[in-house]
RNA sequence: GCGCCCGUAGCUCAGUAGGAUAGAGCACAGGAUUCCUAAUCCUGGGGUCGCAGGUUCGAAUCCUGCCGGGCGCACCA
């Protein structure tokens, strides 16, 4: 189903038969041989670099080798012509039916067109969001959520067995702060005037409900008790209540996870001790003293011996502490335990989606993964840069409810989850992104969400109108499979078909690179080809999708239109966006 | 000081297992609507791909050095 793969295989088999005949030396390295679509139609449909790549090893020159291969290929039925050009490119022009023959395949496959077996069914773990359970999600979290979610879907489409995971950071000091903040709200719920929320506690109103819920459950039970008594209770309750909040926010975005892992329970079950003693036995931890950081020396720096992991053995810059001054585990230590836990659960392939502010942490985590998996595991970290929330070009005003940040919920309520998801995927994850609340709801081509959806809606509209024009034809996909598509040879039609042909390649490349944003770019391009052809129907009636009185022609065009709609829908599905049937 | 990322059209950015004349949108200028949604499309100008070397048939892409910008750099998460 991947046309480039098909042609590439043809090429390889011709090379092999040349080798078998003794016309070419054995043992050539074919790994750099590629086939790609040409940019310039004068170069045919497809071009290969094979002759230039192999010429040296084959002890010949590119043009000569190219001609040899070109002659072989030209004899095959799928090629109309094959030429050697420029420094040795093999330019291939396929017979017209080769391209249009794709359409029935797409119609039959539906949105599974583009699926591939790149992942070979291997498991992969994608961890994303992992926001601290201390409050509602803000817009920055949303980016990681969408990118992680889309990446997971993309990898599944590419043949991986994907597990979506959320790591709950519920073990650090910040959840104690949460507990104290909840305690204050609890007292407030019981009628006390708590005044201003003191510095260092979470001021957000979202904790009021937690306080009320606690008061309803336990009454005045905790009013005159000491902190060490109530803290664990409040902590647990508040974490649960914050996780409910976060799960609701995620649901509003259409993001879900298969597994929620709790740092607290992992540490509680002793994984940190386990992993450290394992590393100890391999001489990878030691008591040592770190140099103060160069350049900017913290005021409260004190030299002290710490339990350190030899991350420098695994390409890190300095060894990293596993225990804090107070004897507790560092976050890093827990993270090592967590990643080993993932590895033990069968995930040699791991992807973490983090905020860009954790950039400095990537190397040490990768070095730890190398150590604990003895180099049989792989961790890729996708960093998500900032989201600049704008309103008509100007920085958006701050949220009233949450204080200093705009909550995800407010944005979703304002512009809808589809727009949020699409926009989050219009940039590579590691560059910052302008998110304009005004623009994403605009119905114009400036708004890629609209632009792509509009193409899909137009196609649905064509189908509706065609059903009225030809009430006796069946226009469902399986009927369209039988349409005569051979004369869809207008450059505009062929442009769309070739674009559809490259979809499996786009999926494969995006999955390999772990870059779901490529899907969004592809869809914009495909929509553009569609709109362009559509508009040519303004000037030339013969190019319209519906040709009154000409059922065969109309069916052929509808087969093309539906194929475009299917690929748009399948790309949107990767992004987690619902295609619309009409614009309102 | 060290590390990572970035530098492509006036602006925002695509484009990395090296491919032919470097793309798109915005902005700017002009044009298309008795027509399936003009909510769209078409045409045009606009570039030393930060700079300098190197690798090679070929470099925005790989390597080295430099310039410019961003982020991070005991213990916090």
Q: State whether residue A311 is helix, strand or coil.
A: helix
Q: What is the pLDDT of residue A345?
A: 96
**CB contact set of A76 (below 8 Å; sequence gap of 6+):** A10
- What is the pLDDT at residue A120? 92
User: Residue A61, CB, less than 7 Å from strand B?
Assistant: no
Strand partners, A93: A81
> CA–CA separation, A273 vs A424, rounded Å?
39
What pLDDT does residue A403 have?
46
A71 CB and strand B closer than 7 A: no
Nucleotides in B strand less than 7 A from protein CB: 1-6, 12-21, 23-26, 32-33, 35-42, 57-58, 70-77
Q: Could you give the CA distance from residue A372 to residue A343 in angstroms, rounded to a whole number?
A: 9
Residue A1 pLDDT? 64
Same domain for A460 and A567, yes or no, is yes
**Which residues from 515-534 of A have any strand B atom under 7 Å from their CB?**
515, 517-518, 521, 524, 528, 531-532, 534
Quote the pLDDT of residue A402: 43
Distance CA A91, CA A84 (A): 6
- Give the distance, in angstroms, between residue A437 CA and nucleotide B8 C1': 28
- C-beta within 7 A of nucleic chain B, residues 156-185 of A: 169, 171-174
- Cβ count within 10 A of residue A510: 25
Print the domain residue range for A538: 444-575
Residue A258, domain member (yes or no): no
pLDDT band at A166 (very low <50, low <70, confident <90, very high): very high
Note whether residue A290 is domain-resident: no
Residues A140, A234 contacting (CB under 8 angstroms): no
Q: Are residues A457 and A546 in the same domain?
A: yes
Strands A349-355 and A320-321: unpaired
The strand pairing partners of A287, in sequence order, are: A307
The answer to whether residue A494 sits within a structural domain is: yes
Query: What's the pLDDT band for A347 if we cut at 50, 70, 90?
Result: very high
> 3-state DSSP: chain A helix, strand, coil percent, rounded to 5?
50, 15, 35
State the nucleotide closest to A301 in CA–C1' terms.
Answer: B74
Is A275 among the domain residues?
Answer: no
pLDDT of residue A405: 60
Has residue A523 been placed in a domain?
yes
Closest residue to B72 (CA to C1') is A360
Give the 3-state secondary structure of residue A289: strand
Q: Is the reported ipTM for this assembly greater than 0.85? A: yes
Share of chain A above pLDDT 70, in %: 97
Q: Among all strands, which nt has the closest C1' to A50 (CA)? A: B19
pLDDT at A488: 92
What are residue A470's phi and psi, to 5 degrees? -125, 75
Q: What is the pLDDT of residue A114?
A: 92
Task: Mark whether A449 and A569 lie in a shared domain.
Answer: yes
> Are A85 and A177 in the same domain?
no
Count of structural domains within chain A? 3
Domain boundary among A94, A127, A152: A94
pLDDT tens for A444-488 read: 777 888 899 999 999 999 999 999 999 989 999 999 999 999 989
Mean pLDDT of chain A: 90
DSSP string, A137-150: -BHHHHHHHHHHHH
CATH label of the domain that carries residue A36? 3.30.1360.70
For the segment A158-184, the average pLDDT, to the nearest whole number, is 94
Answer yes or no: is A18 within a domain: yes
Question: What per-residue confidence (pLDDT) applies to A289?
Answer: 87
CA of A172: nearest nucleotide by C1' is: B77
Q: Write the CB contacts of A157 (distance below 8 Å, at least 6 apart in sequence).
A: A114, A115, A116, A507, A511, A574
Residue A296 pLDDT > 70, yes or no?
A: no
pLDDT of the residue at A23: 82
Report which of residues 459-478 in chain A place their beta carbon less than 7 angstroms from any atom of strand B.
461-462, 465
Question: Do A90 and A180 lie in a common domain?
Answer: no
Confidence (pLDDT) at A439 = 82
Q: What's the token pair of residue A251?
A: 């649901």
**CB-based contacts of A336, cutoff 8 Å, min separation 6:** A272, A275, A309, A322, A368, A372
Strand B at less than 7 A from CB of A513: yes
A448 with A570, same domain: the answer is: yes
Nearest residue to A434 (alpha-carbon basis) of A384, A383, A387: A387
Q: Tell me, in Å, how far CA of A450 is from C1' of B28?
A: 24
pLDDT digits (tens, 9 = 90+) for A521-536: 999 999 999 999 999 8
The DSSP output letter for A431 is S
Q: Tell me, what CATH number does A483's domain have?
A: 1.10.730.10
Final residue of a domain: which of A66, A94, A122? A94
Q: Which of A94, A129, A158 is the last residue in one of the domains?
A: A94
Task: Give the helix/strand (H/E) hosting A352.
Answer: strand A349-355
Contacts of A207 (CB under 8 A, 6+ apart): A135, A181, A182, A185, A238
Tell me, yes or no, whether A216 lies in a domain.
yes
pLDDT at A82: 93
Say what the pLDDT of residue A226 is. 95
The reply to whether A12 has its C-beta less than 7 Å from any atom of strand B is no
Query: By the 8 A CB rule, do A91 and A97 touch?
Result: no
Q: In the predicted model, what is the mean pLDDT of residues A343-357?
A: 92
A90 and A210 share one domain: no
Per-residue pLDDT at A404 exceeds 70: no
At residue A400, does pLDDT exceed 70? no
For residue A397, pLDDT beyond 80? no
Residue A350 has pLDDT above 60, yes or no: yes
pLDDT digits (tens, 9 = 90+) for A58-70: 888 888 899 999 9
What's the CA gap between A72 and A23, in Å, rounded? 12
A90 shares its domain with A179: no
pLDDT given for residue A493 in this prediction: 92
pLDDT tens across A492-510, in order?
898 899 899 989 989 988 9
Asked if residue A193 and residue A78 are part of one domain, the reply reads no
| C-beta of residue A70 within 8 angstroms of C-beta of residue A84 | yes
Q: Are residues A555 and A451 in the same domain?
A: yes
Residue A281 lies in a domain: no
> At A489, phi and psi to the nearest 5?
-115, 10
Looking at A384-476, list the stretches that DSSP marks H as alpha helix, in order from N- to C-terminal side. 408-415, 417-424, 448-469
Question: Which range is least confidently modeled, A78-87, A126-135, A202-211, A426-435?
Answer: A426-435
Give the pLDDT of residue A297: 67
Quote the pLDDT of residue A401: 43
- Give me the mean pLDDT over the A164-176 stretch: 92
Beta strands in A56-115 (DSSP E): 79-85, 89-94
């Amino acid at each position: 189903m991947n046309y480039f793969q098909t042609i590439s295989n043809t090429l390889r088999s011709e090379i092999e038969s040349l080798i078998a005949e003794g016309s070419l030396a054995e043992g050539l390295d074919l790994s750099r041989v590629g086939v790609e679509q040409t940019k310039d139609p004068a170069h045919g449909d497809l071009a290969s670099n094979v002759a230039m790549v192999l010429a040296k090893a084959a002890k010949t020159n590119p043009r000569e080798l190219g001609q040899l291969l070109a002659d072989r290929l030209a004899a095959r039925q799928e090629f109309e012509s094959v030429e050697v050009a420029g420094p040795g490119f093999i330019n291939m022009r396929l017979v017209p039916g080769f391209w249009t023959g794709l359409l029935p395949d797409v119609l039959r496959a539906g949105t599974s067109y583009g699926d591939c077996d790149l992942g070979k069914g291997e498991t992969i773990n994608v961890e994303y969001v992992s926001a601290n359970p201390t409050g509602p999600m803000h817009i920055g979290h949303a980016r990681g959520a969408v990118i992680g979610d889309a990446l997971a879907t993309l990898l599944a489409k590419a043949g991986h067995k994907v597990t979506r995971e959320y790591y709950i950071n519920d073990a650090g000091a910040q959840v104690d702060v949460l507990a104290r903040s909840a305690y204050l709200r609890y007292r407030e719920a019981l009628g006390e005037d708590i005044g201003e929320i003191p510095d260092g506690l979470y001021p957000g109103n979202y904790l009021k409900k937690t306080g009320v819920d606690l008061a309803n459950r336990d009454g005045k039970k905790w009013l005159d008790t000491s902190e060490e008594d109530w803290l664990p209770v409040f902590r647990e309750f508040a974490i649960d209540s914050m996780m409910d909040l976060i799960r609701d926010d995620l649901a509003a975005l259409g993001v879900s996870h298969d597994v929620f892992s709790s740092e607290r329970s992992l540490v509680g079950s002793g994984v940190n001790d386990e992993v450290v003693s394992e590393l100890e036995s391999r001489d990878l931890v030691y008591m040592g003293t770190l140099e103060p950081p160069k350049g900017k020396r913290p005021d409260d720096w004190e030299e002290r011996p710490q339990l350190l992991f030899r991350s420098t053995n695994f390409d890190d810059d300095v060894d990293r502490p596993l225990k804090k001054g107070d004897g507790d585990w560092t976050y890093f230590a827990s993270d090592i335990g967590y990643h080993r836990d993932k590895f033990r659960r069968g995930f040699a392939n791991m992807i973490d989606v983090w905020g860009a502010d954790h950039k400095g942490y990537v190397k040490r985590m990768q070095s730890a993964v190398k150590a604990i998996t003895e180099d049989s595991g792989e961790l890729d970290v996708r960093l998500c840069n900032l989201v600049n929330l704008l309103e008509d070009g100007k920085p958006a005003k701050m949220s009233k409810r949450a204080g200093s940040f705009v909550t995800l919920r407010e944005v979703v309520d304002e512009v809808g989850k589809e727009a949020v998801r699409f926009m989050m995927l219009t940039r590579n994850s590691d560059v910052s992104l302008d998110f304009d609340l005004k623009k994403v709801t605009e119905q114009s081509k400036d708004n890629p969400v609209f632009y792509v959806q509009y193409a899909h809606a137009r196609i649905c509209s064509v189908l509706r109108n065609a059903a009225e024009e030809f009430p006796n034809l069946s226009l469902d996909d399986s009927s369209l499979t039988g349409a005569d598509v051979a004369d869809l040879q207008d450059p505009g039609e062929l442009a769309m078909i070739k674009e559809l042909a490259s979809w499996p390649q786009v999926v494969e490349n995006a999955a390999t690179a772990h870059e779901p944003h490529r899907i969004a770019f592809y869809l914009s391009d495909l929509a553009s080809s569609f709109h362009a052809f559509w508009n040519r129907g303004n000037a030339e009636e013969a190019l319209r999708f519906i040709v009154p009185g000409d059922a065969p022609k109309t069916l052929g065009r509808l087969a093309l239109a539906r194929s475009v709609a299917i690929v748009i829908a399948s790309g949107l599905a990767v992004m987690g966006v619902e295609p619309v049937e009409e614009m309102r």
